[in-house]
Amino acid sequence: MSKRLDSKPRNDGFRMPGEHEPQEAVWMAWPERTDNWRYGGKPAQKTFTEVAKAISQSTPVTMIVSSEQFENARGQLPEGIRLVEMSTDDSWMRDIGPSYVVNDEGERRGIDWYFNAWGGLVDGLYYPWHNDDAVAQKVCEILGDHSYKAQIVLEGGSIHVDGEGTLYTTEECLLHESRNPDLTREEIEEVLCDHLSVDKVIWIPSGLYNDETNGHVDNLIHVVRPGEVILTWCDDEMDPQYDLSRSALDALLTQKDAKGRSIKVHKIPMPGPLFITEEEASGVDMSDGMERVPGERLAGSYANYLVTNDQIVYPLLDKDHDAEVEAILNELYPGYRITGVNAREILLGGGNIHCITQQIPAVK
C-alpha cells in the first residue's frame, strides 16, 4: 500500500539513479490535445506508437490514456504495451510523472513535484493543468510505491542526474520567475539535494534557443555516464544557438562534478535549424500559450533521447545529421542497441523522445 511520507529522501537513504541504471518500465501518455498536436493528435499518435514499440524491445511500456481515447489507443498499440486509463492535460510524461529515488536495499519511492504547465499564470503553456499535476501521485499509487511531495515547482525534463551525486540544470529554467520566485538559488539547491541526494548542482546558463519550457536541460545535454555528457552544438556563428552552446560548454568545463571529476563533453550536431511549415501549422487549433504558426523555430535536439536498459531510443530529425548522430551514439554507448524513430511530430508539439517518457527504476 503506497503512502505519502513526511520525511526527506536523503535522510531516508534514497538517491535518484542515473538513466543508465536498470529500469523496470517506461511510462508514456497518449497525445490528443488539439491546440498542440495537429489533426487531433493523429500523426503524433502514430509517432508515440513507434516510440513505444522501440522502447518495448528492451523495457516494458505503460501508456496512460484518457477514457475517450482508450479504444483508439488500444487499436494502435501492440498488445504487449499496457494501457492505464487516467486523465491528463497533455502528454509530457517526463514533466508530469514522478521522479524516482532508490536505496541500497532495493526499494524505490517517487518524488511528486508541483507542476504548473511550464510557467503557471506568468507564461504557462495552457490552463488548467490540475490533471497533469495529479499524475505523479497516481502513478506511485498504481505501482504501490511510497512517495514524497516536494515543495517546489519542477519538471523532470529540467534536471539530469548521473546517479553519483551530480545534478545538471539550467539557470534559465529553475531560476525563472514563473517557477519558484520566492526561493533563492541556494534554497532550490537545498530542495534538490534533500530530495534526490545530490551533492553538486552544475548550473548551465541557458537551454536550447526558443525552447518554450524555459530551457529544459534535457533538450540541450544528456548524461552519458558519470563525469561525461553530450552537448548540442552549433557551428553557425549567425545562429542564436551558437553563443548558447558555447556558454554551456564553458559552464561544463569550468565546474567539477560531485566526485571532483572534470566533466568530459562530447559535441552532438544540432539538427536544421528546423521550422514549422504552413501545412503543419494549419492542422493545429489556436491557443493562447503555444506558438504553432508557420515559420516558428522548433527547438530540435538530438540530445533529447532516452536511455533504457542498454538501449538508446533517439529522434530522427534531419537527414543531413541522423546518420552522424547514430555513429556518435554507437561510439559513446558500446554494446547498446541504438534505435532511431522519426520524431518530427513530437518536436512539433514542443519536445522530443526524452520529454514523452519517464523511466521507473528496477528494484530487487
Q: Which of 140, 173, 234, 355 is catalytic?
A: 355
The answer to whether residue 355 is catalytic is yes
Whose CA is closest to 298, among 259, 335, 352, 248?
Answer: 352
3-class state of residue 106 by DSSP = coil
- Give the other-Cβ count within 10 Å of 86's Cβ: 18
What are the backbone angles phi and psi of residue 241, rounded to the nearest 5°? -75, -20
Amino acid at residue number 99: S
Residues contacting 186, CB < 8 A, separation 6+: none
For 32, the grid coordinates are: 490528443
Task: Name beta bridge partners: 4.
Answer: 147
Please tell me the distance from the alpha carbon of residue 164 to that of residue 169, in angstroms, as a whole number: 15
For the chain, the C-alpha Rg in angstroms (whole number) is: 19
Please tell me the distance from the alpha carbon of residue 364 to that of residue 353, in angstroms, as a whole number: 27
Amino acid at residue number 201: V
Q: Is the dihedral of CA 173, 117, 302, 189 positive or negative?
A: positive
Whose CA is closest to 102, among 2, 214, 9, 219?
Answer: 9
Please tell me the distance from the alpha carbon of residue 43 to that of residue 238, in angstroms, as a whole number: 33
Question: Catalytic amino acids?
Answer: 355
